[in-house]
Amino acid sequence: MTARPIQFYFRGAVQTISGQPATRSVLQWLREDACATGTKEGCAEGDCGACTVVVGERDDTAPGGLRLAAVNACIQFLPTLDGKALFTVEDLAKGNELHPVQQAMVDCHGSQCGFCTPGFVMSLWADYETRPAAPTRDQTLSLLSGNLCRCTGYRPIIDAATAARAQPRIELDRAPVRAALDQLAALPALDYHCGDTHFTAPRTVAELAQTYAARPQARLLAGSTDIGLWVTKQMRALPDLVYLGAVAELRTVTREAQHLLIGAGVTLTEAFAALTDAQPAWQELAERFASMPIRNAGTLGGNIANGSPIGDSMPGLIALGASVVLQHGDTTCEIALEDLYLGYQKSALQPGEFVRAVRVPLGASAPTHFRTWKVSKRADQDISAVCAGIAVWVEDGLVQSARVAYGGMAATPSRARRCEAALKGQPWSADTVRSAMLALCADYMPLTDMRASSGYRSTTARNLLWRFWLETGGASVVPTRIAEVLA
């Protein structure tokens, strides 16, 4: 690859950036270099939403060939903008005329101190530009899940989401943006150097495999929703980064006869949409996984490869019997997802090997009943205390097979083997589930930490198994206390 500067579309022109560390955040560049101070810094970890901006990418299936998504500027590294378009709150008003979203915030009294307002406006604007009809209340709550209000409360902001659609519509002129992005796409792949930092963005799987095999010490970067915090909170130096976001082959979802194949670069937003379409029971987790700006940036492959014991996607995928496709150089292999995790933050990935895709069984392989749930202190934008994925295959009233997996209960997301054994071959009944709940107590020895006590986690895990039974087979059996279940 030939070294070149970072180039992206911003304020009506292509910006050319060099001399910046590869881990400089988009937020830092906006506030300190571009003097675009409307974008605020709050938490610097992707939680509060004060730094929300909108990123545009080429997409022939989107209106005007431009896909827009709200993301957190504080944890996105500047080189990840290469070949894309960046929009901030300053881009919305035309002279003294506010954009309908901004005017609605004024009319509905949605701003008080104003610090968080630009982030709310950008989340609402992204939705305004991508959703033709006014969002429902639930849709508004989902799109604002990454914006924390400090003053006014949510009601006037939710009202503004609807009120903006009642005004004369003003849409972004996508044509010049798409034209600029087409020109940027003709540039060679980004190979960026600055001081001791090196950032490479290969565009094909073959280039990625070759680059990573040659530089196995490099850190793979996808959505930056975790690695970004290594820089902003841990002050870690990341001198060598290989970016997956420019590899089109990794950003595809393929519906096969018996499987759903999700590329490692597919965003969580797109991955959960595909999973929910195949298995509607994914819907609750899809809406509660982090926030919309995080889901728009983070990837399913990154959540899997990260190997966190509280990675919310893994229990459901393990319960469904998902596997991961790994690649090293020209060689690929496929292993069961649960076999990827060897210990706390330790995986079976070898140096230079990466997750290429996740394969989720469908069709005849799909379970009779499936659920996945997240339990946390907050409904939105919170880390799990316990996350469950439960699947059973029932035929003629008997459990033919069962796969039960939990996150937050051990050093890795893992299956409850004793619980599964207590279910298999037994009638799908309350008594069987009670026995499985008792067996579940021997499957895990959870820790106590700031999110939950060991006892709370154990009780919650059992309760979720009972809830699974109530929703799939025993709605008429509703004891008032968990002690009654285990009596």
Q: pLDDT of 450-471, one tens digit each?
A: 999 999 999 999 999 999 999 9
Q: 6-90+173-243: which CATH topology? A: Ubiquitin-like (UB roll) (3.10.20)
Q: What is the pTM of this model?
A: 0.95
Q: What pLDDT does residue 485 have? A: 56
CA-wise closest residue to 354 among 329, 335, 372: 329
Q: What pLDDT does residue 482 have? A: 52
Q: Which of these CATH numbers, 3.40.50.620, 1.10.150.120, 3.40.50.360, 3.40.50.2300, describes 95-166?
A: 1.10.150.120
Q: What pLDDT does residue 160 have? A: 96
Q: What pLDDT does residue 68 have? A: 98
Quick one: average pLDDT of 409-430? 97
Q: pLDDT-derived band of residue 339, with 50, 70 and 90 as boundaries?
A: very high
Averaged pLDDT of the chain: 95
- What is the C-alpha to C-alpha distance for residues 358 and 365, in angstroms, rounded to an integer? 16
- What stretches of 195-319 adopt beta strand conformation (E)? 197-201, 219-221, 240-243, 253-255, 259-263
- What is the C-alpha to C-alpha distance for residues 91 and 334, in angstroms, rounded to an integer? 46
Q: What pLDDT does residue 364 have? A: 86
Q: What pLDDT does residue 484 have? A: 56
Q: What pLDDT does residue 355 have? A: 98
Q: What pLDDT does residue 487 have? A: 52
Quick one: average pLDDT of 50-79? 98
Quick one: average pLDDT of 140-156? 89
Q: Which of these CATH numbers, 3.30.390.50, 3.30.450.40, 3.90.380.10, 2.102.10.10, describes 369-486?
A: 3.30.390.50
- What is the C-alpha to C-alpha distance for residues 332 and 439, in angstroms, rounded to an integer? 37
Q: Environment class of residue 307 by beta-carbon count within 10 Å: exposed (0-12), middle (13-18) or buried (19+)?
A: buried
Statement: residue 132 has pLDDT above 60: yes
Statement: residue 481 has pLDDT above 60: no
Q: What pLDDT does residue 310 have? A: 87
- What is the C-alpha to C-alpha distance for residues 433 and 455, in angstroms, rounded to an integer? 20
Better pLDDT: 476 or 268: 268
Query: What architecture does CATH give domain 248-365?
Result: 2-Layer Sandwich (3.30)
Kind plus residue range of the DSSP H or E element containing 319: helix 314-319
Q: What pLDDT does residue 305 have? A: 95
Share of the chain above pLDDT 70, in %: 97
Read off φ and ψ for residue 238, nearest 5 degrees. -125, 85
CB neighbours of residue 336 within 10 Å = 12
Statement: residue 236 has pLDDT above 70: yes
Q: pLDDT of 302-337, one tens digit each?
A: 999 999 988 999 999 999 999 999 999 999 999 999
The structural domains of the chain, with segments of one domain joined by +, span 6-90+173-243, 95-166, 248-365, 369-486
Q: pLDDT-derived band of residue 206, with 50, 70 and 90 as boundaries?
A: very high
Dihedral sign (CA 71, 19, 82, 217): negative
Q: pLDDT-derived band of residue 288, with 50, 70 and 90 as boundaries?
A: very high
CB neighbours of residue 474 within 10 Å = 15
Q: pLDDT of 162-172, one tens digit each?
A: 999 999 999 99
Q: What pLDDT does residue 486 have? A: 57
Q: What pLDDT does residue 475 have? A: 58
Q: pLDDT of 241-278, one tens digit each?
A: 999 999 999 999 999 889 999 999 999 999 999 999 99
